[in-house]
Structure 1
Amino acid sequence: MIGKAEFFESLQTAINNNQITLPTLPEVALRVRDAVEQENVTAHQIADMVATDAALSARLLQVANSPLYRGRVTIDTIQMAITRLGFKLVRSLVVSLAMKQIFQATSDTLDVRLRTMWEQSVEVAAISRVLAQSITHLDKDQAMLAGLIHNIGALPILTWAESYPELMEDEAALDELVEELTPAIGVQILNTWGFNETLVKAAEQSRNLQYDGGPKADYVDIVIVARLQTQHSNQIASPADWLQVPAFLKVGLDPEIELIEIEGVAEDIESVQGAFL
């Protein structure tokens, strides 16, 4: 069976030779993302961008009227939806819808893996949002976006792995490969997309349990803790070991308590998942 180093080299060669194409975001997603970063952008301007994509427009209206964000008045225009949701959440929704479309497979085997990977990303995003709400210097919607994109590097890895049938048949070996190589490929993709350094770092370091970016929790810390809470990481044997993880200490969550056990948290997580799945 092909080794990790050999696989990584073959994947990089395939990318460089255009044998496999890194995923791209549609133009509307890039335009909305860039517009949100501008201080003088208006809801009307963003609405005009979103309106060019019927599926995206429908999704924003659906989320704006969902239990998580619903107000006393039903939202029936894109501009009203953007005003209610806020620019940063709209950015996350735009990117998530585009990414959900990217996580499509050409075979049943790959489809199962990509769907599982996307569901995990959404769960991490939902938990990241909840965690960031209690940390005043972090933005909950930025944290959610960091959770959404942290697995993006897995997509070309799994796609290229189909070239090696023996690897696809060995789930443990493939899982290990994805865990080790996803950060590096994710950095390549996010740099190509022009994402900011904060989000690139979240993808690069989300699997590094010894990451320590300073005395205060940052978005990498949030995503690391969210991943641990989902129990999708096999690097830590039990909650007792979480005290050894710098990110967990800085986020300040009691390692003896699962986040979903806190009153109201499970409902918040389910609502966010409902908006993105």
Structure 2
Amino acid sequence: MDRLHALKTIAAEAQRGELAFPTNVEATLGLQRALANPDCHLDAAARLVQAEPLLAARTVAIANSVAYNPAGREVTNVATAVQRIGFRALGALTASVVARQLAGQIREPSLRAKADQLWQHSASVAALSQVIARRVSHVDADTAMFAGIVHEVGGFYMLSRAAEFPGLLDDCADEWITHGEVAIGRAVLRKLDVPAPVTGAIEALWNGLRALPPETLGDTLLLANDLASVRSPLHERPGASSASAAATVDFAIGDGTLAKVLEESADEVRSLAAALS
């Protein structure tokens, strides 16, 4: 089976809802649904999070990041961490565990390297999205972080399937965008029950439409993607870099500029990206 046919095959399966998720991912999706239940209160949420070690560790790490802990008061338990970050941020972290679990299924070294880079990219976009939302576009910051975490989840799914199709992702960025990303991405986002506003923002990213200064969640996500310190291994463009984007994308914000906001928020972005990683 040639590469293009393989991409179309996986995309067709995804459109039919035939997504092959590992058992641990299915379990995390069940946890996500439980946490999203309006009747799930703080104590119950903390117990659910504690049952998933990776999620528990990420929750405490995020709660202690500069973005959520500007006063430097460290928390050491899940219940306090959940209370500090809130349910929306917790939903974003649950989605991040799904992506990490998909990446964890990959054994082939070159694919694993792509998955690791894709996660570092996602963490960078999520951290930047949170800061840009809070300080520039003034959309909900936790929703923006969530969008950053899940914007490449279709790519993680593709990487988890790539071992079945040798050479599937070798130098295929254009084919992936045309035949894979949209169909597979939409299907995985549906499986994750990603809210419509977040899905719409990711669709805007796929379409490459952005206003400057950013006004919407989609604008916020696309700007963060352009400024991310780690590029996506599935969308590498010759000469593309966060440094070149930062040098060319700047605009006035009140009494300052985007560059000034990013400089002032550098510790927040680094701390949040590290906690997600």
8 Å Cα contact 1:186-1:204 kept in structure 2: no
8 Å Cα contact 1:124-1:230 kept in structure 2: yes
Which residue does the alignment assign to 2:34?
A: 31
Which residue does the alignment assign to 2:271?
A: 271
Question: SS of the counterpart of 2:207?
Answer: coil
Aligned pairs (5 A) from 1:221-240? 221-230=219-228, 232=231, 234=237, 239=245
Which residue does the alignment assign to 1:186?
A: 185
Once the two structures are TM-superposed, the CA of residue 74 in structure 1 deviates from its matched residue by 4.2
- Structure 2 distance, partners of 1:240, 1:82, is 34
Aligned pairs (5 A) from 1:200-211? 200-210=199-209
Name the CA shift for 1:2/1:268 in 2 (closer, same or farther; >3 Å). Answer: same
Partner amino acid for 1:147? G
Once the two structures are TM-superposed, the CA of residue 113 in structure 1 deviates from its matched residue by 0.7
Which residue does the alignment assign to 1:9?
A: 8
Aligned pairs (5 A) from 1:103-118? 103-104=103-104, 105-118=106-119
Which residue does the alignment assign to 1:93?
A: 93
**1:184-232: CA deviation from partner (whole Å, max 9, x where unpaired):** 21111111222211122233331322367xx972211111111111273
Among all aligned residue pairs of Structure 1 and Structure 2, give the percentage whose two residues are the same amino acid.
22
Name the CA shift for 1:217/1:51 in 2 (closer, same or farther; >3 Å). Answer: same
Question: SS of the counterpart of 1:122?
Answer: helix
Question: SS of the counterpart of 2:263?
Answer: coil
8 Å Cα contact 2:128-2:269 kept in structure 1: yes
**1:154-200: CA deviation from partner (whole Å, max 9, x where unpaired):** 123234443443445x4xx3233333422321111111222211122
Name the CA shift for 1:107/1:45 in 2 (closer, same or farther; >3 Å). Answer: same
Partner amino acid for 1:28? L
Q: Judge which range, 189-198 or 233-242, deviates more.
A: 233-242
Partner amino acid for 2:112? D
Which residue does the alignment assign to 1:124?
A: 125
Name the CA shift for 1:265/1:93 in 2 (closer, same or farther; >3 Å). Answer: same
What runs of 5+ residues in structure 1 fail to find an aligned partner? none
Number of residue-to-residue matches in the alignment: 259
- Structure 2 distance, partners of 1:110, 1:89, is 29
TM-score when normalising by structure 1: 0.76
Name the CA shift for 1:82/1:178 in 2 (closer, same or farther; >3 Å). Answer: same
8 Å Cα contact 1:152-1:182 kept in structure 2: no
- Structure 1 distance, partners of 2:21, 2:163, is 15
Once the two structures are TM-superposed, the CA of residue 117 in structure 1 deviates from its matched residue by 0.8
Once the two structures are TM-superposed, the CA of residue 106 in structure 1 deviates from its matched residue by 2.3
8 Å Cα contact 1:92-1:144 kept in structure 2: yes
- Structure 2 distance, partners of 1:86, 1:19, is 33
1:53 corresponds to 2:52: yes
8 Å Cα contact 1:184-1:204 kept in structure 2: no
1:217 corresponds to 2:215: yes
What runs of 5+ residues in structure 2 fail to find an aligned partner? none
Which residue does the alignment assign to 2:84?
A: 84
Once the two structures are TM-superposed, the CA of residue 98 in structure 1 deviates from its matched residue by 3.2
Question: SS of the counterpart of 2:145?
Answer: helix
